[in-house]
Structure 1
Amino acid sequence: MTGITRESMEYDVVIVGAGPSGLAAAIRLKQLDPDLSVVVLEKGSEVGAHILSGAVLDPSGLDALLPDWREMDAPIRVPVKHDNFYLLGPAGQIRIPNFPMPPLMNNHGNYIVSMANVCRWMAGVAEGLGVEIFPGMACSQLVYDGDRVAGVVAGEFGLDPETAEPGPSYEPGMELRGKYVFLSEGVRGSLAKEVMAKYDLSAGHCPQKFGLGMKEIWEIDPEKHKEGTVTHTMGWPLGKNAGGGSFIYHLENNQVYVGFVVHLNYKNPHLYPYAEFQRFKHHPMVAELLKGGKRVAYGARAISEGGWQSIPKLVAPGVALLGCSAGLVNVPRIKGNHNAMLSGKAAAEAAHAAIKAGRMGDELSDYEADVRGGAIGADLKKVRNVKPMWSKWGLTASLVFGGLDMWTNNLFGFSLFGTLKHGKSDAAATGKAADYRKIDYPKADGVLSFDRLTNVAYSFTNHDENQPAHLRLKDPSIPIAVNLPLYAEPAQRYCPAGVYEVLGEGAEATFRINFQNCVHCKTCDIKDPSQNIVWTTPMGGGGPNYPNM
C-alpha cells in the first residue's frame, strides 16, 4: 500500500520468526557483541505458539551455540533409550533391525523434546542477553532500499475484511529496519517466498519438495508408557499411494507424540492425508498403545524435504534465509532443528563480521559458504539421494539403495549414484482425478480417530474474524471451473484443518474458505495443482496456540 506513513525503528539485525534458527541467530549475535541491537519478531501469540516438530533433537546445534546448556535448566530431559523401526502391513508389522542402518540413523545421544518449549527457553536466554522479542507481531511486508532488503513492516492491524484496505480502526504498523534482515519464518514463509522470487534464488537448484506432518499428543496408560522410546514406521496405510511414515515418541508424564508424514508429491488427488493419519492409529500395534488413553493436542505443518539439491541461494542484498526457510531438513533422519540452529549461528557470525567491517546490506557470502561447506552441508550431502530414490523407485528400492548410498557416503565420502535430481514440483505431480480411483476412508470413531474440525479445536487455533482472509485466490473462478472437474478439487482433502469446502453441485457449486481454521501449515500454497492459493500472514497473534508441540 502506498501513501501510508509509518514510524520506524533501526536495528543492527532484524530477525523474522522466533523458531530455533531465528533465536539461535539472536543469541549468537549477542554473544559476539553485546552492543549489537537485535530484534526478533514472532507472528504467534507467544514464542512457541506456532512451533510444531516431532521432535527428536540432535543436540549438535545446541552444543555449538550454548555448550553449557545441560547446566541451564533446558527443557531437554528425555534421552532416547530405545530406537525401533517397523514396516507395517494392515494387520501386523515386521521390525527392521538396527544393525544394518548407517550410524547417522542412530538416535542414541539424542533427546525427545517439545520444540515449542525449547524455543520458549531459548527466547529466555536471548532476552537475558538483551535481545528484544516481540510476539504477536506478524511481518506483512518487506522494506526495500533500492535493490537491498532493508527491513520489514510489522504489527499492521485494522484492514477492512472485504477490501483489504485500511479500515476505521487501522493501525499501520512499524517499519523495523536493519543492516541485515534474517528470514527464519519456517517452511514456505511468505516473505522468504517473495525474496526467492525477486532475486531468483532457486535458479540452478532442484525445486523444493515437501511433506505434510500431522501430530497428536496423547496421554496413555502408565503401564504402556516407556519413556525414551522412539518408534518409526513405514508402509501401511499409505502403501503405493504416497510416500511417508509415522513416528511415536514416548516423552515425560505418560505422554507420547503420535505423528504421521505424507510426502506431498503424491499423484492421486483423491488421497486424504489427514484420513490416512487417522486410519494409521487403528493399526493393531498403535491401537493397543493408545487404548485407554486420550488425545490432548493436535497440529500440522509442512516439512521441507528437498534436501541438498533443493537448497536455494541463501543470500541476497541485505537478507539471508535461515532454517526451514532455507530447507535444511535431513529427511531420512527426520531432523532439522540442529541444522536450523547451526544456520542461525552461521548467519549471525557472518553479519557480525560484516557490521564490524563497516559493511551494510550486502550479500553475506560467508554465511552461504558456511552452510554449504560446513556441518550442515556434510549432514545433508550424505543423505541427498534418499528422497529422490523414494520418489522414483518406491519404498523397497529406496530402503535398499538409499541405505547402501548412506553407508558409502559415511564410509568413503562419496555416492555411487552421484547426485540424483528431484522431479517436478509437488503441485505439478498431482494427477487428474479421472485417472485414479477414489479411496474409501473409514469414518472416525471418536476414540482413536477424530474428524478434522474436532481435532482442530485441540490446536487452540483462533483468528480475529474481522480481517481479510489471509488465504487468497489469484483467480476466484479456478477452484470450481478448473480444479473441481480436473482434480476433484483436492483442497477439500489435502488441508489438515478443513479450511476449504466445495458446497453444492453442478452449476450451484461454490468454494468456501474457512480461514479461521487455518493452522498455518502452508500445504495449500504448496499442493494446489493450479498454484492459485497464496498463503499470506494474518494479523499478529492469529493461528494455532500449541502448548507443548
Structure 2
Amino acid sequence: MTEVVRESMEYDVVIVGAGPAGLSAAIRLKQLDADLSVVVLEKGSEVGAHILSGAVLDPCGLDALIPDWRERGAPLNVPVTEDKFYLLGEAGQIRIPNWPMPPLMNNHGNYIVSMANVCRWMAEQAEALGVEIFPGMSASELVFGPAGEVLGVVAGEFGREADGRPGPSYEPGMELRGKYVLLGEGVRGSLSKQVIARYGLSDGKEPQKYGLGMKEIWEIDPEKHRAGTVVHTMGWPLGGNAGGGAFIYHAEGNQLHIGFVVHLNYENPYLYPYMEFQRFKHHPAVAPLLEGGKRVAYGARAISEGGWQSIPKVVFPGGALLGCSAGLVNVPRIKGNHNAMLSGKAAAEAAHAAITAGRASDELTDYETDLRSGPVAKDLKRVRNVKPLWSKYGLTGSLALGGFDMWVANLFGMNPLGTQKHGKSDAAATGLAADHKPIVYPKPDGVLSFDRLTNVAFSFTNHEESQPCHLQLRDPTIPIAVNLPKYAEPAQRYCPAGVYEVVQEDGKDPRFVINFQNCVHCKTCDIKDPSQNINWVTPQGGDGPNYPNT
C-alpha cells in the first residue's frame, strides 16, 4: 500500500477533545501566554455534540479557571435546592437521611447543568482568547518521533472505503504537531489506550473499573417539575445482579434528566443493562413524574469508576492524559467534570512552564505531581474505597463500610481501611452462561419505556456507511466460536444501542452482525467483552451522536 503523504501544521500545544478537560487546558494556556499557539480537535460535529445534557456540576473547577464565570454568563442557571437519596424496593422506597452522609456528598452549592452547553460556552471563551477549535475532526493516529516520543496527531482523514483503502473522495488529513499533545478524549479514548499500553502507564496500578451510564431527557408536566431537585437511588431493579443506581435531575425549562448507571463488573452475562434502565422508569416513585411527559433525547457512555488506585501515570514523552482519559471520576458523588477542569488547568500550567523553559516532547512531571498532591488528589483519595467495597460486599456493606471510611477520611485526612484493591477487570468478571439463569424483562410499553432502536433514534446518531467499521474484531471467529457457547454472547445485551446481533437463520450457522451505524460511542464493548476481542477506534470526524441538549 502506498504510504500516505500528509501536510503538517505546527502548534505549541495540540489538544484532543473539546470536553471540559481539553477546553480548560486551552483556556489556561492562553491565559498564561496569549502568544502560544493552541489547537483543540473535536470528533463531534460541533462542540457538545457527544455530551448529553444532565449533570450536577461542582463549580470548583470553573472557580479556579474563570473566577468571574457568573459575570461572563456561564450557563449554570439551576442551583441545587433539594438533595434526596432513596433505597428502592420493587414496590416502594426508603429515604436515606442526608445527615449521616459525609459533607462531600452534599450537593448544595452545585448546579444542574447541560455539560454540552457549558462546553459550548467554554469554547466561546477559548476562541475569544485565540484558541483554534476544529470540530468534526477525529484524531485517528499518533505521530511519533525518532525516540518514541509523541510529536502530534493525524486528524481530518476522510473517505476510506469499507476495506480500508482510500476511496475516490479520499482526504488524507493533516499532521498537527505540537511541543506537547494533551489527550482529553474521555473514557477509553482510542489514542489514550495506545499511549497507556505503549508506555506502560498503568503498570503497578489497579485495573480501571467502569460503569455504563444511560440517560434520557424528558419534558414533563410543569406541575410536577421542581427545578433544582436532585434525586439519587440505589437498589431495585438491580438488586444482587449488579452494582449501580439512578439519578433524576430537575433542570431548567421543565426538563427532567433521568439516568441509570450499571457497574460493568457484573457476573451474569444475561444481564441487560438497557432493559434494567427501562424497567426502573416503571417504579411507583418514578413513573408518576414521567406520565404525561415526552422523551426528547437518549444517550449512553461509559464512566470511569476505578478512582484513585486506578489512575495511570498521566504523563508520557510528549504529552499527558486529562480528565476521564485518566479516570478522575469521584464515584460516590457521580462527578468528574470538576476534576476534568482542574486536570486541564494543571496540565496547561505544566506545559506552559516547560515551553517557557525551552523544553518540548518530554514528560510534564509537574503535572503528574500536581495531580497526585493537589485538589484532584484530595477529592479522590478520601473516596477511594467506596467502589472496591461495593464490589466485594454489595450495596449494604458498601454503605456501612464505605460511609465509615469516607467520614474518617473527611475528618482526619486518612482512610482507616487503607487502599482496597479492585481485583479483576470488568471483562474478566463476566461469568459463564452455564452458571447463570437468563433474566426475563418486561416488554417496553412505548410510553414510559422503549426498545433500544427506537431510543437510539433520539440520539440522532449517524455514521457514513461506506467507511471502515470502527468496531474492530481482533479475531472475527471469537463471537460465535467462543463468546456464544461460553457467555451467550453478551454483546447482544450490554450494548445500549443495539449494535451487536447474533442472527440465526433457518438451516444456517449463527452470524455475528455489527450495526456500527447505531454506535453512540459509549465504549462499553471495548471494556466488557469477555474475550477482549473488540477494539473501539474513532470513526471519521462528525460521525456519531448529535445530542440536541435543548
TM bracket (short chain): over 0.9
Per the normalisation by structure 2, the TM-score is 0.99
Which residues of 2 match residues 82-101 of structure 1 at below 5 A? 82-101=82-101
Cα distance in structure 2, aligned partners of 1:34 and 1:384 = 38
Contact 1:432 1:487 in 2 (8 A): yes
Which residues of 2 match residues 81-230 of structure 1 at below 5 A? 81-146=81-146, 147-161=148-162, 163-230=163-230
Match of residue 448 from structure 2 = 448
Contact 2:53 2:257 in 1 (8 A): no
Cα distance in structure 1, aligned partners of 2:400 and 2:273 = 26
1:435-463 CA distance string (max 9 Å, x none): 00110000000000000000000000001
SS at match of 2:286: helix
| Compared CA separation, residues 2 and 353, structure 1 to 2 (3 A) | farther
Contact 1:269 1:433 in 2 (8 A): yes
Unaligned runs of 5+ in 2: none
Contact 2:53 2:217 in 1 (8 A): no
Unaligned runs of 5+ in 1: none
Following superposition, which runs of at least 4 residues in structure 1 exceed 2 angstroms of deviation?
Answer: none
1:62-106 CA distance string (max 9 Å, x none): 000000001011111100000000000000000000000000000
Contact 2:53 2:549 in 1 (8 A): no
Match of residue 23 from structure 1 = 23
- CA drift of 1:429 comes to 0.3
SS at match of 1:261: strand
Match of residue 278 from structure 1 = 278
Contact 1:43 1:540 in 2 (8 A): yes
Letter of the 1:485 counterpart: P
Match of residue 412 from structure 1 = 412
SS at match of 2:498: coil
Cα distance in structure 2, aligned partners of 1:74 and 1:375 = 22
Cα distance in structure 1, aligned partners of 2:168 and 2:40 = 29
1:373-399 CA distance string (max 9 Å, x none): 000001000000000000001100100
SS at match of 1:260: strand
- CA drift of 1:319 comes to 1.2
Letter of the 2:40 counterpart: V
Letter of the 2:282 counterpart: H
- CA drift of 1:329 comes to 0.2
- CA drift of 1:508 comes to 1.5
SS at match of 1:142: strand
- CA drift of 1:52 comes to 3.3
Report the number of matched residues: 548
SS at match of 2:179: strand
Which residues of 2 match residues 456-495 of structure 1 at below 5 A? 456-495=456-495
Which residues of 2 match residues 421-436 of structure 1 at below 5 A? 421-436=421-436
Contact 2:215 2:259 in 1 (8 A): yes
- CA drift of 1:2 comes to 6.3
Contact 1:52 1:301 in 2 (8 A): no
Match of residue 512 from structure 2 = 511
1:255-279 CA distance string (max 9 Å, x none): 1100000000000000000000000
Cα distance in structure 2, aligned partners of 1:314 and 1:115 = 24
| Compared CA separation, residues 2 and 234, structure 1 to 2 (3 A) | farther
Match of residue 234 from structure 1 = 234
Cα distance in structure 2, aligned partners of 1:148 and 1:99 = 51
Letter of the 1:189 counterpart: G
Cα distance in structure 1, aligned partners of 2:407 and 2:53 = 27
- CA drift of 1:120 comes to 0.5
- CA drift of 1:507 comes to 5.3
Cα distance in structure 2, aligned partners of 1:145 and 1:179 = 11
Letter of the 1:289 counterpart: L
Cα distance in structure 2, aligned partners of 1:2 and 1:280 = 53
SS at match of 1:416: coil
Contact 1:314 1:320 in 2 (8 A): yes
1:43-62 CA distance string (max 9 Å, x none): 00000001136400000000
Contact 1:116 1:547 in 2 (8 A): no
